Amino acid sequence: MHRIALGTDQREQFVDVTEAVSDAVRALGIEAGAVLLHVPHTTAAVTVNEGFDPDVASDVLAVLRRLVARDAGYAHLEGNSDSHVKAILVGSTQLLPVRAGAPLLGRWQRIFFCEFDGPRTRTVLVTPLS
C-alpha cells in the first residue's frame, strides 16, 4: 500500500491527484492489474471526472452545495453534517485499472480528491489488487 499525503486550503475543493496516484502505481511496481483508491476520512471523497476544464469541478461543487445545504438543521452539531452527506454521495473509493504501469484513464479524465470539510491534512491510500 502507498499513502499519498496532501493538504487542502479551502472548506470544499477538488484536488487533482492524478500525478500522485501515477507515481504511487510506479512506486508499487504495478505494470498491469488494478489499484483501489481509498480516502479514510468521513468528510472527504475520491472521484474520476473531467480534468481538462476546471469549470467541471466548480460546477460539481456548486450542485453538491445546492443539493446538500450547509445549514439545514442537522442533528449532528459539529457543523459539518453537509460534509458527511457529500462524502457519502461521492464515495470514499475508486477502483482503477492499470496498464503499462499507469492508471488507465480516458482522454479527459483525472483523479480528484474531494475535500468537503477543510482545510485539513488528508490521505489517499493506493492499494494494488492482484
Q: CB-based contacts of 65: which residues, under 8 Å, 6+ apart?
A: 12
So what's the pLDDT on residue 112?
A: 98
Q: Which residues does the chain have with pLDDT short of 50? A: none
N- to C-terminal Cα separation, the chain: 12
Into how many domains does the chain fold? 1
Q: Give, in order, the Cα–Cα distances in Å from 86 to each of 19, 31, 52, 62.
A: 24, 33, 23, 12
For the domain that residue 62 is a member of, what is the CATH number?
2.60.120.460
Distance CA 115, CA 130 (A): 29
So what's the pLDDT on residue 68?
A: 98
pTM of the model: 0.96
So what's the pLDDT on residue 80?
A: 97
So what's the pLDDT on residue 130?
A: 73
- Phi/psi of residue 56, nearest 5 degrees: -65, -50
Strand ordering across the sheet containing 2-7: 2-7, 121-129, 32-38, 93-99, 102-103
* Residue ranges making up the domain that contains 45: 2-129
Q: Residue 8, SS3?
A: coil
